[in-house]
Amino acid sequence: MFRIKTITLVMAAIFSMAVGFTGCGGQEAEEQSAEAALPEVRWTLQTTWSQGWLLHEMAEDFAKRVNDLSGGKFIIDVQPAGAIVGGLEVLDAADSGAIDAYHSWPGYWMSKHPSAPFFASIPLHLEPLMHTTWLYNYGGKELYQEMMDEAGQNVVVMPGGVTGPEMLAHSNKPVEEMEDWKGLKYRAPGWWGEVLKELGVAVTMLPGTELYPALDRGILDATEFSTPAVNRQQGFHEVADFIAGPGLHQPTCFFELGFNKDAYNELPELYKKIIDNAAMAMTLHMWTKSNVADMEALDHFEERGIKRTYVEPEVQREMREQAWEWIDNDVKKRGNDHYSRTWASVNEFWERFSDYEQFMVPVRK
Residues annotated within the binding site for Na(+) are: 225
CB-based contact 322:314 (threshold 8 Å): no
CA dist 115 and 289 (Å) reads: 28
Binding residues: 166, 187, 224-225, 250
CB-based contact 38:73 (threshold 8 Å): yes
Cα 283 from chain centroid? 9
CA dist 16 and 24 (Å) reads: 9
CA dist 55 and 352 (Å) reads: 31
The SS3 call for residue 15 is helix
CB-based contact 101:272 (threshold 8 Å): no
CA dist 275 and 279 (Å) reads: 6
Binding residues for substrate: 166, 187, 224, 250
CB-based contact 114:334 (threshold 8 Å): yes
Would you tell me how many other CB atoms lie within 10 Å of the CB of residue 216? Answer: 15
* Residue among 70, 100, 95 nearest 272 (CA): 70
Q: Are strands 169-171 and 242-245 parallel, antiparallel or unpaired?
A: antiparallel
* Residue among 42, 50, 60 nearest 282 (CA): 60
Would you tell me how many other CB atoms lie within 10 Å of the CB of residue 31? Answer: 19
CA dist 350 and 356 (Å) reads: 10
Complete DSSP assignment for 275-322: HHHHHHHHHHHHHHHHHHHHHHHHHHHHHTTPEEEE--HHHHHHHHHH
